[in-house]
Every structure is written in structure tokens, then in C-alpha cells.
Amino acid sequence: MASPVHTLCQTGLVVALLLMARCTCHVGHKEGVRIETIVSPSPGCYKLQSGDFFVTLENITLTDGTVLYTSYLPDGKVVAKRSYLGKRTSGINVGMLGVCKGEVRHLTIPPQLMMGSVQDTENLAATVPVDVQIHYRAEILDVVPQIERSLLQDFLSTDKNGDYVVRANEIERVLEMERGLKRLLQNALGMDNIVELAVQWFDADGDGGLNREEYFTLSQTIQLDQMRKDAKAQYPDEYRNPEKNRALKDEF
């Protein structure tokens, strides 16, 4: 019969093995980068590919806690970082490939994988000793596939104040510059307050503005790209005064 101490040791071993097994599910290694998943992605989510756009809240620290970069500023502001995968340091490229919106990852990156020719990390070479690991922790706020690049560029250019939400006044500003499009929309819908109504209609979460996904839905539903082409064809006079349009744009 096993002694209580033996049983305790066995139990401890089982718990340790279980913890290790649980940990192994969330930790992987790829090309020298340790990839730990802190918050798992939703099943079936779109996975970040090279060339895709993604938005993160992130911290880059050294093993001793030295902060190299953080989204969390001392004054309490939080500044999300926007990137295209493939234009970042190689260690991050390797570790972030396949990440999903909503996921949180912690990468442990050897310093030589953070440096090299990538501009982002040029100044790290002077900061990071060769024997120190770099810790990159990122919460993924958004992922936009490369195939949706033109929709994304339209969203980012409409988001005049850069808060990643398009509000009615920002669409109004765009329509002040694209008066042909404004006329087309007003004529098609037979009403003047089209912007206010559009924002209300597509504001799925009811926060008063259009986040990236809500704006894409609006854009695709009304076929904004095609409407722009139609507006240019139907109201060419509105597009014949680029100097005036540029002056209006400069005001913003």
C-alpha cells in the first residue's frame, strides 16, 4: 500500500504533468521564436497573413523589465499600433503569422531576430545586449486581409481624426470634397440627411460611430466604389475643379 507521502508525490507529479500538458497547448516554437498564446482565438477566425493589416496594443520589454516600446503611455492614454505584417521586425513577423483578432500572444524573441536591416529596430541594436531576450506581448484588436486593402485605405482616409471610428461629421467632410458623390446619394435616396441615416443604419453596436467592420459593411452594401465611378460619370462638373477640392481638403 502506498504511503501518504508517496501518494502526495504521485499527485504532485500528476498535477505538474497536467500543468505542463496544458502549457504545451499554448506554447510553440518557430524559427527561434517562442510563441505563447495568452488568450486563444475564436474557432474559425481569419488568421493574419503576410501583407495583411493588423492593429495591436503591445509592449516590448527586455527580460529585466526594461520597456522598449509600449502602447500604454504614462499619462494614461492608450495608443494602438497599426502595422502590415511583413514590414516589421523578423521575430515579430514569425511570431505573429496566423494570429487572429481578439487573440493575445507573448513572443520571446532572441535579439538577433529583432535587428538586422529592418528600420523599426535599428535603434534596438544599441539598447539590447546580445544575451538578453526580447518579450513582445500583443493584444490583437483587428486584422484586415490584404485583399480588402482598398476598403481599408478608404476607411483610414475617411477617419480624419485617426481614432479608428468613422463618424457622421467625417463622412460629411468627405462628401464636401466629393460633391458628385453627395448628389448621387441624395438623388438615389431622395433625402438630404443621408449621412446621419447611413451611420444609424450601419452602426451595429450602437456606439454612434462606424468601426472598421461596420464601415466595410456600409461600403460593400451601397457599393461605394461603383457609386464613386457613377458619380464621376454623371456629374463630371463636380470633378473639374481639383484646385478647389484640394483647398477644401487642406482645411482639414
Min dist. Cβ of residue 76 to Ca ion (A): 20
Question: Which residues between 185 and 204 bind Ca ion (CB under 5 A)?
Answer: 203
Task: Yes or no: say if 48 and 100 are a contact pair by the CB < 8 Å rule.
Answer: yes
Does 31 bind Ca ion (CB under 5 A)? Our answer is: no
Does 172 bind Ca ion (CB under 5 A)? Our answer is: no
Stretch that binds Ca ion, among 74-82, 115-123, 152-160, 232-240 (CB under 5 A): 152-160
Stretch that binds Ca ion, among 53-61, 162-170, 178-186, 187-195 (CB under 5 A): 162-170
Furthest C-alpha separation in the chain: 96
Stretch that binds Ca ion, among 10-18, 91-99, 153-161, 184-192 (CB under 5 A): 153-161
**Smaller CB distance to Ca ion: residue 129 or 162?**
162
**Backbone angles phi and psi of 97, in degrees to 5:** -55, 130
Beta bridge partners of 140: 56
Among residues 184, 187, 157, 189, which one has the least CA distance to residue 173?
157
Cell of 231: 458619380
Stretch that binds Ca ion, among 4-12, 43-51, 146-154, 213-221 (CB under 5 A): 213-221
Min dist. Cβ of residue 201 to Ca ion (A): 11
In the block, cell 499527485 appears at 11
For the chain, the straight-line distance linking the first and the last C-alpha, in angstroms and rounded, comes to 82
Q: How far apart are CA 83 and CA 181, in angstroms?
A: 31
Q: Which of 7, 150, 161, 221 binds Ca ion (CB under 5 A)?
A: 161
Min dist. Cβ of residue 24 to Ca ion (A): 39
Size of the site for Ca ion (CB under 5 A): 8
Min dist. Cβ of residue 78 to Ca ion (A): 16
Cell of 75: 499619462
Site string for Ca ion, 88-117 (x = CB under 5 A): ------------------------------
Q: How far apart are CA 46 and CA 72, in angstroms?
A: 27
Q: Which of 52, 103, 159, 178 binds Ca ion (CB under 5 A)?
A: 159
In the block, cell 502590415 appears at 84
Q: Which of 163, 172, 196, 225 binds Ca ion (CB under 5 A)?
A: 163
**Smaller CB distance to Ca ion: residue 124 or 199?**
199
Task: Yes or no: say if 184 and 235 are a contact pair by the CB < 8 Å rule.
Answer: yes
What residues contact 23, with CB distance under 8 A and at least 6 apart? none
SS3 labels along 76-123: CCECCEEEECCCCCHHHHHHHCCCCCCCEEEEEECHHHHCCCCHHHCC
Q: Which of 122, 196, 207, 225 binds Ca ion (CB under 5 A)?
A: 207
> Could you list the residues that contact Ca ion (CB under 5 A)?
159, 161, 163, 165, 203, 205, 207, 214
